[in-house]
Amino acid sequence: IDLNLSIVLNLVMVASELSHVHTRPIDFVCDSEARRMMNKVKDLQVEMVVCSAVDALPSDIKLPCIRIHKATWERKSVHEQRAEILLSLGTLAQDVRSARTLSQPGCGLTLLERLEHSINNYLHVVRLLHIEQGEQVGPQAELCLGRPSKDLGLVLKHFGLLLTGKLEWVIAEMAKGC
């Protein structure tokens, strides 16, 4: 990538990070548009195509478990569901951080930085979500991870499906109070 294209790509990335930085947890639950604007997975997927330097990540990332067995999921409390999502997001953030520290400077590193930032935003918001039934601590969430992968496209796909699957199911339950 030539220098001018690199500068423009970096400016676009920074500008996209500035919108909706201050989404509050209540907005996240009650406003689907705020959630849609916070979800940067599609933007990252588009930028990954532009950044041909991201063929393989420098280290494995454990993919979050995205499958939902409806009956089992519905038997879990909202606390347990949220704990499972937090555990998946936390593990994903840790693995992306490790891959980022091993990456060479360039658009691949910038993509990993943006992905880590996005995951951390979700971690922050999900941690702050107020659950009406009180904040009692339930059983420890089971760590449900898929196979390790060095494919950033697959990592982005699983992250997106975690957000539009399990997280949206929790939000739908919580949004009944909006």
pLDDT at 162: 94
What is the residue-averaged pLDDT of the chain? 79
Q: How confident is the model at residue 117 (pLDDT cuts 50, 70, 90)?
A: very high
Tens-digit pLDDT profile for residues 131-162? 654 444 444 556 666 789 999 999 999 999 99
3-state SS class at 71: helix
Whole-Å CA distances, 3 to 7, 9, 17, 103, 104: 6, 10, 21, 19, 16
What is the pLDDT, as a whole number, of residue 174? Answer: 82
Overall average pLDDT of the 53-76 stretch: 86
Q: 38: how many CB neighbours lie within 10 A of its CB?
A: 18
> Phi-psi category of 134—alpha, beta or left, where left has phi over 0 and alpha has psi -120 to 50?
left
Domain range for 63 is: 3-177
Determine the pLDDT at residue 9: 40
* Six token digits for residue 9: 């790509």
pLDDT at 163 (0 to 100): 93
Residue 80 has pLDDT above 80, yes or no: yes
Task: Report the DSSP pairing between strands 145-149 and 61-64.
Answer: antiparallel
Amino acid identity at 23? T
Residue 130 — very low, low, confident or very high, per pLDDT cuts 50/70/90? low
**pLDDT for the residue 154:** 92
The count of structural domains within the chain is 1
Pick 124 or 10 by higher pLDDT: 124
* Alpha helices, H only, the chain: 3-18, 25-30, 32-38, 41-50, 70-75, 78-102, 107-128, 152-162, 168-174
Residue 28: both structure tokens together: 């996240």
Q: Which tens digits make up the pLDDT trace of 23-51?
A: 566 677 888 888 888 888 988 888 888 88
CATH number at residue 84: 1.20.1250.10
pLDDT value for 25: 63
pLDDT at site 141? 55
